[in-house]
């Protein structure tokens, strides 16, 4: 099924005192490009996260935001610098002797002195943290994929409408093409008559018309354009990613339409060519967001 490259997913899981939140935003990009923003102490998981993203996404820019809280009782430890506390005590005693002030400082005030008590994070269980992070990321990516599928279906419908219009214009050009040579022959005969030529060389006129018909022939271009449109429909109906291939097909469609416009030398076809190029540009703009 066709997927857009625009998606969003957010998931929060809590397990065994650990709370993990993952938010994923994706937009269009030529290749897969992931920007990870996660706490420094989860840096060990970055390579595995990138692999998981590559397995879930083929193209697009992905911003991934990770927040983590450890509320377990063993998450932190508090240490006391007894030597520093003793130095504070001795300094307070010396200050008391020097000033005559009482030195009856309670314990809680010692605890508030700089660097006496230090809170540090305990070493994480990386295996348990990665298991939680991986599962949270997978569920967020599932939401992203669901949105990309919805957006992809909307894109498919829009692209189908533009392709149908392009088909109609191609059919109109196909119907008009034989008349281009007839009109040229009629204009040529009219011009000869205006010049007063009473006995024109029929063989020479046939040669001129044949040369014009050969120059103005657009059968091959119309056939290739039809083939490109058929291929686009097939890609859109398939299961594989199709954005890059559709983009290439649109370039080829534009090439064929340009050639038709330069060869046909007909005002009606020229107008249809302008309209066809407009539809192709709309296709190109929409395809930029197809995975």
- Compute the average pLDDT of residues 113-127: 83
Q: What is the mean pLDDT of the chain?
A: 88
Query: How sure is the predictor about 156, in pLDDT bands with cuts at 50, 70 and 90?
Result: very high
Is 3.30.230.40 the CATH number for 7-72+124-148? yes
**Which residues of the chain are in CATH 1.20.120 domains?**
150-287
* CATH class of residue range 150-287: mainly alpha
Determine the pLDDT at residue 63.
98
Q: What is the pLDDT of residue 183?
A: 63
Say if residue 176's pLDDT is above 90.
no
- DSSP symbols for the chain: ---BS-EEEEEEEEETTEEEEEEEEEE--SSEEEEEE--GGGGGGHHHHHHHHHHH-SSEEEEEEEEEEE--TTSEEEEE-HHHHHHHHHHHHHHHHHH-------HHHHHTSTTTEEEEEPPP-HHHHHHHHHHHHHHHHHHHHHHHHHHHHHHHHHHHHHHHHHHHHHHHHHHHHHHHHHHHHHHHHHHHHHTT-SS--HHHHHHHHHHHHHHH--HHHHHHHHHHHHHHHHHHHSSS--HHHHHHHHHHHHHHHHHHHHHH--HHHHHHHHHHHHHHHHHHHHHTTB-
Give the rounded percent of residues in the chain with a pLDDT score beyond 70.
Answer: 88
Is the confidence at residue 215, as pLDDT, over 90?
Answer: no
Q: What are 62-112's pLDDT values in tens digits?
A: 999 999 998 877 777 788 999 998 998 889 899 888 988 888 888 888 889
Provide CATH 3.30.230.40 ranges for the chain: 7-72+124-148
pLDDT at 132 (0 to 100): 96
């Amino acid at each position: 099924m066709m997927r857009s490259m625009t998606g969003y997913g957010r998931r929060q899981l809590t397990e065994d005192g650990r709370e993990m939140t993952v938010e994923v935003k994706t937009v269009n990009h030529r290749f897969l490009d992931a920007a990870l923003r996660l706490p420094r102490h989860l840096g060990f998981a970055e390579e595995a996260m990138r692999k998981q993203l590559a397995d879930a996404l083929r193209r697009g820019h992905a911003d991934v935001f990770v927040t983590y809280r450890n509320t377990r009782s063993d998450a932190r430890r508090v240490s006391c610098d007894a030597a520093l506390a003793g130095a504070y005590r001795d300094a307070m005693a010396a200050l008391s002797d020097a000033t005559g002030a009482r030195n009856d400082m309670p314990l809680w005030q010692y605890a508030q002195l700089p660097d006496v008590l230090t809170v540090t994070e305990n070493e994480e269980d990386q295996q348990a943290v990665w298991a939680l992070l991986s599962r949270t990321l997978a569920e967020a990516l599932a939401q992203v994929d669901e949105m990309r599928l919805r957006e992809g279906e909307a894109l498919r419908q829009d692209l189908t409408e533009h392709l149908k219009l392009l088909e109609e214009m191609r059919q109109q050009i196909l119907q008009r093409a034989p008349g281009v040579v007839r009109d040229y022959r009629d204009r040529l005969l009219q011009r000869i008559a205006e010049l007063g030529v009473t006995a024109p060389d029929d063989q020479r006129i046939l040669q001129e018309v044949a040369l014009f018909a050969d120059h103005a022939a657009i059968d091959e271009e119309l056939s290739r354009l039809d083939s490109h449109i058929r291929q686009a429909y097939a890609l859109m109906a398939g299961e594989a990613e199709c954005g890059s291939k559709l983009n290439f097909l649109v370039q080829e469609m534009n090439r064929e339409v340009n050639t038709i416009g330069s060869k046909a030398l007909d005002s009606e076809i020229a107008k249809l060519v302008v309209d066809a190029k407009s539809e192709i540009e709309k296709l190109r703009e929409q395809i930029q967001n197809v995975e």
